[in-house]
Structures are given as C-alpha cells and as structure tokens.
Amino acid sequence: GINAEYGAVYSSLYIAVYWIMYTLKSRGNDDRITPPTQLEPISPHHISLTISFFVQTILKQVLTMGEEYVMTIFSVISFAQQGVFSTVSKLAAIVVRVGFKHVEDSYYVFFAQMIHRGLPREHQSADADA
C-alpha cells in the first residue's frame, strides 16, 4: 500500500541523509560541516545500526498494517467493510492506549532512572538488571 511505500522511501532518504551528514561532519575538525574531498566508508557499526533501523521500520509497518494489506491484496472484504473495520480498530486502539497510558508513563520514568544512555550493557549498574 501507499503507507509501506512512504515508509520505504522515508527509510531510504533517512539513510542517505544520515550518511551524507556523517561524512560531512567527519571531515571537519571543528563543529562546521564541510564538504568532503573524498568519501569515506561508513564504519561497520553504523552500517549495522542503519540496517537494523531499516529492518525494524519494515517489521513495524507489517505488524501495524498487516491486516489491512491482507484485506486489500486478497480482496477478503469490500472497501466499505474495510473502512468500517479500520474505524473500529483505530477506535479500540485509542481506548487501549488511554487505558495503559499511566503504565507507559511509569515505565518510562523507571527506565529513564535505571538505564544510562551511551553506556554499554556491561557498564550499567547492577540495579538496572533487576
């Protein structure tokens, strides 16, 4: 569907912009972004992160819109029925989100206090594992 195409285009554009900005930023010794005289390869770590981001984007798209893809591709139900299904599904999702909002907020605070960004898992405190 259209959303999947936009997701793929967005992911590809994100990767391209990230690579360009990384390459430009790595050339300058100061904080200014200077154009490169020759392109440097991206580190394997960054390539791995980028591929992981792309795969997670595709997986999220399939998991969130999968039933709509199945209904559209295989013509399981009519477009009018798909509209009703989509409306009911989205309204039910709103109810669930409102119901679990306090749980999400409390876990966000918990993990923000327990996990330190930028530190590898091995260097996190022992309390963070509990």
CA dist list (Å): 20 to 16, 31, 34, 114, 124: 6, 15, 11, 34, 32
pLDDT, block means (10 residues), the chain with 130 residues: 71 83 66 61 85 92 88 88 90 91 91 81 66
Amino acid found at 28: G
Sequence-ordered list of residues with C-beta below 8 angstroms from that of 37, at least 6 positions apart, any chain: 27
What pLDDT is recorded for position 8?
78
Q: How far apart are CA 125 and CA 107, in angstroms?
A: 18
Write down the H helix ranges in 28-117.
44-73, 79-114
Using a 10 angstrom Cβ sphere, with 0-12 exposed, 13-18 middle and 19 or more buried, the burial of residue 66 is: exposed
Q: What pLDDT does 126 receive? A: 65
pLDDT at position 38 is 65
Structure tokens given for 45: 């770590």
* Per-residue model confidence (pLDDT) at position 130: 47
How confident is the model at residue 105, as a pLDDT?
92
Query: What pTM was computed for the model?
Result: 0.47
